């Protein structure tokens, strides 16, 4: 322990990051910027080539930050997992998607752990950051790593620290978001805390890996459930001819006991639509049914259908059907000002409109090409998007969109994000 602790303190510890996506690359760059020698590992050779050429492919990571660290020799990327043997720290940041059955898919974690296991050595610190169900570190990762005879917490150190990245957030970054850390024993927690403390402003140690794993699921399930609640309020308000956005704004004036959440076309992204299912799956393994959580998932999952119903209602006001109408989506990424398409509700909206015969097009400067099932489209420049369009749908409220121009040019607009707040026009229909 003393040796690794000293290496972390004087920045001589070699840090390996497995998985160079939206979590791994910002983390690798932060370690390198703080003076550590960092090697990024990924099975995608194109990502490795981009990093070694000093270019970033993640919006939240500046190319100049990648380039300066590469030039200084502090950052390097490779597809060669045998180089893990040279690392003092291995940080695993791979995806944890859901299977079609809504069960956890740990295949990427297992592959990363197998790579670490093949090159495990005494004194290494292994940290899992991938979002997963409580018990994964103790029940899956630790037994796999110990297969070669080394014991976690004694011969090597093992911890879990949930990633808390919020893509596109201009206020909070990897450095400023507090880091929760839980190890398999106190020594592992301490070392992981020392490591993150070298690059992150505040570290919060917890008593176990399971607590740390549960923290991330609670955070995102909290959001999913509250978004489900406000989506249901939006559906109810529509039936009652009440402006749900005005209701939320008024309720938000209460200085205590209320936190505003906002309705939308559905949930998207890498965490919020997925994490509650990890939690409910694990709960079922323990004989507990998460009825509240699963109901919220059902409500959120129904929102794309409601959006398409609204499009149908709006077109009906001018005696048109969805079938044959030209419908243009503004924004197809899962949230504003990012390029991430994972679980984007816009994909469901597009698919439902396509099934009903709509002629589709879209504008999204962050997503130049879209392929989803039978849908194969290229983004249309915003200035050219209005030609012959019957109805526009704002699915993602990117900051770069010219909303004033949009209101002036389109005959009908369905606004699922209240992006046109402040505009008062009869051809605008909100969620």
Tokens standing for 357?
Answer: 């015969």
Catalytic, 271? Answer yes
Tokens standing for 124?
Answer: 């290494």
Per-residue confidence (pLDDT) for residue 392, from 0 to 100:
98
Per-residue confidence (pLDDT) for residue 430, from 0 to 100:
95
Catalytic annotation, pick one of 93, 271, 290, 391: 271
Q: What is the H or E stretch that residue 409 is in?
A: helix 403-409
Give me the residues paired with residue 430 across strands: 415
Average pLDDT over residues 48-55: 98
* Calpha distance 286→280 (Å, rounded): 10
3-state secondary structure of 38: strand
For residue 69, CA distances in Å to 28, 36, 72, 88, 327 come to: 10, 10, 5, 19, 45
Average pLDDT over residues 245-258: 97
At 8, give phi and psi (nearest 5°): -65, -40
Sequence-distant (6+) residues with CB within 8 A of 384 are none
- CB neighbour class for 296 (10 Å; exposed up to 12, middle 13-18, buried from 19): buried
* Calpha distance 20→391 (Å, rounded): 39
Interval 343-378: pLDDT, tens: 999 999 999 999 999 999 999 999 999 999 999 999
Per-residue confidence (pLDDT) for residue 135, from 0 to 100:
95
Predicted confidence band of residue 2 (pLDDT cuts 50, 70, 90): low
Per-residue confidence (pLDDT) for residue 406, from 0 to 100:
97
Length of the chain: 431
Average pLDDT over residues 301-327: 97
At 311, give phi and psi (nearest 5°): -60, -45
DSSP conformational letter for 340: -
Strand ranges (E), 52-140: 75-78, 89-92, 125-128
Q: Which domains does the chain have, with CATH numbers?
A: 2-206 (3.40.50.720), 229-430 (3.40.50.720)
Q: Where are the alpha helices (DSSP H) in 254-322?
A: 275-285, 291-301, 303-316
Is a pLDDT exceeding 90 seen at residue 167? no
Side-chain-side CA neighbours of residue 333 (13 Å) = 19
Interval 17-47: pLDDT, tens: 999 999 999 999 999 999 999 999 999 999 9
pTM across the whole model: 0.90
């Amino acid at each position: 322990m003393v040796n690794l602790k000293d290496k972390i303190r004087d920045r001589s510890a070699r840090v390996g990051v497995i998985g160079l996506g939206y979590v791994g690359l910002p983390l690798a760059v932060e370690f390198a910027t703080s003076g550590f020698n960092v090697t990024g590992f990924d099975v995608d050779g194109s990502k490795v080539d981009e990093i070694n050429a000093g270019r970033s492919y993640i919006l939240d990571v500046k190319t100049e930050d990648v380039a300066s660290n590469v030039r200084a020799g502090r950052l390097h990327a490779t597809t060669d997992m045998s180089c893990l043997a040279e690392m003092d720290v291995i940080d695993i940041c791979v995806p944890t998607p859901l299977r079609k059955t809504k069960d956890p898919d740990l295949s990427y974690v297992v592959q990363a752990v197998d790579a670490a296991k093949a090159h495990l050595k005494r004194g290494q610190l292994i940290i899992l950051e991938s979002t997963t169900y409580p018990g994964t570190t103790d029940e899956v990762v630790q037994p796999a790593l110990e297969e070669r005879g080394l014991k976690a917490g004694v011969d090597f150190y093992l911890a879990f620290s949930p990633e808390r990245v919020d893509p596109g957030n201009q206020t909070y970054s990897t450095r400023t978001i507090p880091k929760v850390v839980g190890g398999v024993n106190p020594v592992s927690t301490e070392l992981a805390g020392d490591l993150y403390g070298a690059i992150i402003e505040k570290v919060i140690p917890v008593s176990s890996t399971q607590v740390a794993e549960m923290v991330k699921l609670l955070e995102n399930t909290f959001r999913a459930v509250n978004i489900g609640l406000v989506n249901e309020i939006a559906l109810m308000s529509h039936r009652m001819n009440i402006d749900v956005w005005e209701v939320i704004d008024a309720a938000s004036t209460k200085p205590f006991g209320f936190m505003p959440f906002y309705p939308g076309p559905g949930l998207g992204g890498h965490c919020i639509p997925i994490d509650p299912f990890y939690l409910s799956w694990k709960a079922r393994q323990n004989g507990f049914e998460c009825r509240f959580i699963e109901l919220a998932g059902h409500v959120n999952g129904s929102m794309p259908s409601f959006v398409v119903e609204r499009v149908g209602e709006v077109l009906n006001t001018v005696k048109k059907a969805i079938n044959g109408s030209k419908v243009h989506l503004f924004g197809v990424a899962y949230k504003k000002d990012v390029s991430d398409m994972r679980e984007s509700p816009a994909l469901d909206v597009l698919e439902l409109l396509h099934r009903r015969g709509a002629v589709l097009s879209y504008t999204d400067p962050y997503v130049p090409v879209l392929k989803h099932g039978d849908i194969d489209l290229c983004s249309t420049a915003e200035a050219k998007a209005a030609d012959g369009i019957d109805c526009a749908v704002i699915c993602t409220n990117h900051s770069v969109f010219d909303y004033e121009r949009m209101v002036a040019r389109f005959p009908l607009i369905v606004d699922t994000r209240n992006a046109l707040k402040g505009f008062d026009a009869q051809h605008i229909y909100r969620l």
